[in-house]
Every structure is written in structure tokens, then in C-alpha cells.
Amino acid sequence: MKRRILTDFLAWKESRKNEALLVKGARQIGKTYIIEEFGKKYYKSSITLNFFEKPVLKSIFDGELSADEILKNISLRLPNFKFIKGQTLLFLDEIQECPQARTALKFLAQDSRFDCIASGSMLGISYKELASVPVGYERQIEMFSMDFEEFLWAKGIDKDLIEFVKEYYMKKTKIPPDINETILKYLREYMVVGGMPEVVKTFVETGNFAEVHKVQQKILNSYLDDIAKYAATPEKIKVRNSFLSIPKQLAKENKKFQFSHVDKKGSARKYENSLEWLRDAGLIKFCTNVSLPVFPLNSYSKDNWFKIYLMDIGMLTAMYGFEMKQAIIENTLVGSAKGGIYENLIADILCKKHIPLYFYKPENNAQEIEFLLTEKTSIIPVEVKSGNNATVSLNKFMEDFSPPQAIKLITGNLGVAENKITLPLYMAAFF
């Protein structure tokens, strides 16, 4: 499966100087697969040390951590390892299982004879104790599950179609209705399948949504197992309950995260560490309210007022149950849960473009703008509509703040009215 992060890997390979690459992200998003593919394609020799699969390999990093000593220890345990100067990639997989290997990245990065990439779950990287962090010697990249465009590539959709539609976005002209409806259909598939590689592979190979749901449930159960394994004992139940409350939080009319929906006596003081744990694990993203929608947004963030979205839209729909898939695919979904799912879809798209998530909702006011984008020093409001309803909040925002443009995302076609632009939901991928 083609992943666009390969471009980042190549940029690192061409520019690196005394620098290892650390690829971090939630579990099961395809880190191992794409790094090994990168090694096969761009190096004459590559070696993978997977510390989770083969714990015995951790002994390579016992004792002295010089590059020479590490290479010598690798040759003792993996005699078939072929070292070619300047053409070798050393891949340290599941590095969170071997803190000494993380410490050794500094010494491996300083060696110019080979390249070194490490990967690990954000959980382990954040929660394993290290003797020393290799500050200045590692370049970190956060990786996500497959985005909508990568999903289309996996389905075998011609890249020319994507570029064809992108031209309409650039020119802000209406898309041919049949093409627009086709891509909206693909988008609904992405909403129920999501971007977890194993799930996408199952869907592409079988076209069976029931099989897709089984794989998603397996992944969700593995995340609950991770909570039981990694979370501190006093936090385990709170982390689990916070995670399981997300579908309920997004099904409310007011999608602000409310601790009382985790438990009746819930409070920020009691649960804030649990949410931070889930964020560190790469399972959720915070979308923070701002007191004033002006540049720079992070200066006006209200850290106690936020929404939480799941990092993968397919995982969210799976948490709602199999019937949700049918309603989305057949486009018959109604109720307040619909709005939350479409919001999470856009959050999924924006996060995978590394766009920070902010929204605007004044206190004691029904007005809400789901997302705010920064264009140079201007703030662009983005309103998400599961249908094509009136944009009362967007109109009020335009009246109050005079943005250079305002965006309404809908399940329909493209349209322009002065500086208000209506776009099909999937065009968020072109921001």
C-alpha cells in the first residue's frame, strides 16, 4: 500500500547529518511495513531489529553503546546481516521495548557509514524510562493511519481522477455531478473503513463490511489491552472509561468533552491525566476552543474547553456498532450522532495533514464554528454540515470578524457566493 510518508523518509535520507529518524504513532498504523518497504527500495542492505517480536535482541544494547560495538553485537546474533558502507539501513522497530536502544540513537546517528530509523508506539516512547534522550540527534515524525487519498490509492482509483477533481477545487468551479457523487460514495466507504492498513486491506480484498468490522473490533480490543498494560494502575479504569465515552461525547448536541459523561462524579481534576494518556498514545486528538479567533490561535486557546476526536474515523464508526456502517453507506444516518461523525471525519483529514485543531464557540451563545484554519496571518472559519443546511454561525462569524474567506463543507457540490465557499466534504483533503 502506497503511503505519502515515504516522501518524508526520502527528504530525511537526502538531508540527514548526524541524525536518526524516529517514526512515532499509534499501534497498527503501518509503521513497520512502510519503513521496511523504504529499506528494500532505497538501500542495498537493510536489517530490522524488532524488540517486541524478539526480546533477545535487546541484549545487543547491553554494555557499551558505540556504533562499532553495536554492529559487532548485531553480527554475533544475526550472522547473515550484510553491512554495505553507505548503503545500509538499520531499522530499530518497537524501540519503546528497549530503552537502551533509544539512548543509543545518538551514537548511531553520529556514524556516517549507515542510516538508522527507529519506530515505536507513542505510548511506549512516552512512558518508558530512558537513561538519556538523544536530543539533537533524532528527527521525529508522527505517522497516522491512511488518509482518504491513500485509501483511494489502495482501492486502485486512478490518480488522474484525484488530480482532475483537485483542479475544480483550485478553480472553485462546480464538479460534474456524477463524479462528485462517486467520490462522495468513496468518502462514505472511508468513513466506515477508516485508514488502519489491516482494515483497508481486508476491505480491498473482500469488499465485505462484516469482515471489516471484525478486524476493527480486534484492533479496538488491542487498544484496551494496551491500556491495561501501559497505564498506571490508578489510571487504568479512568483511561478505559474515557476512551469508551468518546462516541457518547460526539453524539451530544453540545460536543464539548464533559467529564460527567465518563462518570456522574467525573471532573477535570479526576480525569485530565487519563485524557493526556490517550493523547500520548496517539489514540485521540484535542480540538481546543479559542476565546478570540485571531492569529495566532494558540495564544487564545481555552485549555479547559475542548472537544475530543478519535484518531481514525473508521475506529469511531466501529465503536458505534455495525448498524452505523449501514446507515452511513446508504446515506440514511440521522440524529445528533451524524454531526459528530462528520466532524470527526474532518478532524481525521486535518490531523493527517498536520493541521492543529481549533474551534470557536463563545460562552452563552449557540454560534459555533467547527474548525479554524490559519492562512498566513488570517483565520479561515470552516463549518461542517452533514447536509446542506443554512449557515447561521458562519454568517455571524463573517459579520463579526470579516475573514478573507469562509468555508462550508457539505455532502453536496461546490459553489461560491462572494467570499463564502461551499465545498464537498472530501475537499478538506486539499487544504
Kindly state the average pLDDT of the residues 204-213: 98
Please indicate whether residue 387 or residue 10 has the higher confidence score (pLDDT). 10
Distance of CA 248 to the CA centre of its chain: 21
Tens-digit pLDDT profile for residues 95-110: 989 999 999 999 999 9
Q: How far is the C-alpha of 310 from the C-alpha of 368, rounded, in Å?
A: 20
Instruction: Indicate whether 14 pLDDT > 90.
Output: yes
Mean of pLDDT values over 87-92: 97
Question: Which CATH number is 66's domain given?
Answer: 3.40.50
Q: Is residue 182 predicted with pLDDT exceeding 60?
A: yes
User: 127 with 165, same domain?
Assistant: no
pLDDT at 131 over 80: no
Q: List b or e across 126-138, with b for residues whose CB sees 16 or more CB atoms inside 10 angstroms.
A: beeeeeeebeebb
3-state helix, strand, coil in the chain (%, to 5): 50, 20, 30
Query: What percentage of the chain exceeds 70 in pLDDT?
Result: 97
Which pLDDT band, with edges at 50, 70 and 90, does 132 fall under? low
Convert the pLDDT of each residue in 315-369 to its tens digit.
999 999 999 999 999 999 988 789 999 999 999 999 999 999 999 999 888 889 9
**Residue that finishes a domain, picked among 84, 107, 142:** 142
Q: Tell me, yes or no, whether 178 lies in a domain.
A: yes
- Same domain, yes or no, for 312 and 255? yes
Give the distance between the most distant pair of CA atoms in the chain: 70
227-285 pLDDT, tens per residue?
Answer: 998 888 889 999 999 999 999 999 998 999 999 999 888 889 899 899 999 998 999 99
> Looking at residues 373-390, what average pLDDT do you find?
89
DSSP 50-77: ETTT-GGGGGGGSS---HHHHHHHHHHH
Mean pLDDT within 74-84: 91
195 and 328 share one domain:
yes
Please tell me whether residues 124 and 229 are part of one structural domain. Answer: no
Q: Which of 117-121, 163-167, 318-322, 395-399 has the lowest mean pLDDT?
A: 117-121
Tally of domains within the chain: 2
Q: Is the domain of 138 the same as that of 160?
A: no
Contacts of 307 (CB under 8 A, 6+ apart): 249, 250, 255, 256, 257, 286, 287, 343, 359
Assess whether 156 and 74 both reside in one domain.
Answer: no
More confident call, 253 vs 152: 152
Calculate the average pLDDT of the chain.
Answer: 93
Domain limit, last residue, from 93, 116, 142: 142
Residue 274 shares a structural domain with residue 419:
yes
Judge if 171 and 134 occupy the same domain.
Answer: no
Q: Please say if the pLDDT value at position 129 is more than 60.
A: no
What values do phi and psi take at 7, rounded to 5? -60, -40
Overall average pLDDT of the 120-148 stretch:
76
Domain coverage including residue 108? 6-142
Residues 138 and 238 in one domain: no
The answer to whether 379 touches 293, Cβ cutoff 8 Å, is yes
Query: Has residue 340 been placed in a domain?
Result: yes
241 within domain boundaries: yes
Point out the domain boundary residue: 142, 160, 176: 142
Residues 306 and 360 in one domain: yes
Instruction: Indicate whether 1 belongs to any domain.
Output: no
Residue 388 has pLDDT above 90, yes or no: no
pLDDT digits (tens, 9 = 90+) for 22-67: 999 999 999 999 999 999 999 999 999 999 999 999 999 999 999 9
Q: What is the pLDDT of residue 74?
A: 96
End-to-end CA distance of the chain: 23
Q: Do residues 139 and 20 make contact, with C-beta atoms less than 8 angstroms apart?
A: yes
Inform me whether the pLDDT recorded for 191 exceeds 90: yes
* pLDDT exceeds cutoff 60 at 183: yes
**Residues 135 and 152 occupy one common structural domain:** no
Domain-embedded: residue 214: yes
Residues 153 and 133 in one domain: no
